[in-house]
Amino acid sequence: MEYKIVADSSCDLNQELQNKLDIGLVPLKIDVEGHTFVDDHTMNVKKLLAEMKKSQNPIKTSSPSPGEFLVEYDKADNIFVVTISSALSSTYSNAVLAKNIALEKGNKFIHVFDSLSASIGETLVSIKIFDLIQKNYDRNDIVSKTEEYIKEMKTFFILESLDNLIKAGRIGKVIGQIATKLSIKPVMGSNDDGTIRLVEKVRGSKRAFKRLVDIIGEQGDKVEDKILGIAHCNALDKAEKLKNEIQKKYNFKDIIIVETAGLSTAYADDGGIILAF
């Protein structure tokens, strides 16, 4: 039976994963001071970072249209779709709308997963679907096992810069400036409903990363059966050091590293790290 995995461009991949999974990526768009970046393979992430640093205003993002999802849905009869958390974007609802349109046109199987995450979290969900397909599970079992995986998955991230949160009004300007001066590094995470929560406030990057490694042990179990993913925004050395520290303490089945594409870069900002398992 022919299957295809489709995801929005918040699903961060390296070349090896893209070749292996053959995911159909549907791009979001990012607007910085009237300059629109399409989050596809042609986008220059370093240029996006430069434009964000120059901008005094918050970035704006827009979801793919249902029509853009339909293009990918036409490529197979059995489609599994993975989207950024519905609590963060209208992408999920547009993917579902496209599903309903596609089903009116013909006999297809399409299931849209709300990842309740973003970035490397979407990547891990896509890998889970791919592995279940390779093991010849039927599509209903793939759906149930993947939904269970999503509910159990943990996502955390550390921001090196608070600039985008300040510009977007997520934290007050004065509080943000004080936090920056004091080198406060918030460890953030996802709630069960896919919203973002503050896990802890830690002073200094080194302490924040050490704390993140400890949190994995406190909130994870049966890690030997799991893949841990790390997405970094222009911070490969930091990601590799984090991987090494995690390997010293835990026996994950595998640890993968990817670089953030456009959408994840827009929120993680320069030096940001996103982790999921």
Q: Which residues are 24's β-sheet partners? A: 6
Residue that terminates a domain, selected from 92, 116, 151: 151
Residue 115 and residue 205 in one domain: no
Q: Where residue 133 sits, what CATH number does that domain have?
A: 3.40.50.10170
Mean pLDDT for each 10-residue chunk of the chain (277 residues)? 93 97 97 95 94 90 97 96 96 98 93 98 98 97 98 93 68 62 82 89 89 92 94 97 97 97 93 96
pLDDT value of residue 176: 61
Residue 63 has a pLDDT of 97
The predicted structure's pLDDT at residue 140? 96
User: Would you mind telling me the total number of residues written for the chain in this entry?
Assistant: 277
Pair 255, 224: CB distance under 8 Å: no
- 18 and 146 in a single domain? The answer is yes
- Distance, CA of 123 to CA of 44 (rounded, Å): 21
Predicted local confidence at residue 222, as pLDDT: 87
Q: Provide the residue range defining the domain that includes 252.
A: 155-276
Three-class DSSP category at 270: coil
pLDDT for 220: 80
pLDDT of residue 77: 94
| Residue-level pLDDT at 175 | 57
Cα–Cα distance for residue pair 212/190, rounded to 1 Å:
14
Q: How many domains does the chain divide into?
A: 2
Contacts 24+ apart (CB under 8 A), 17-21: 17/123, 17/127, 17/256, 17/258, 20/130, 21/126, 21/127, 21/130
Burial code (b: 16+ CB inside 10 Å, e: under 16) for 194-212 equals bebeebeebeeeeebbebb
Q: Are residues 145 and 30 in the same domain?
A: yes
**Res 179: pLDDT:** 62
pLDDT recorded at residue 198: 83
CATH of the domain at 188: 3.30.1180.10
User: For 227-268, what is each residue's pLDDT tens digit?
Assistant: 999 999 999 999 999 999 999 999 999 999 999 999 999 989
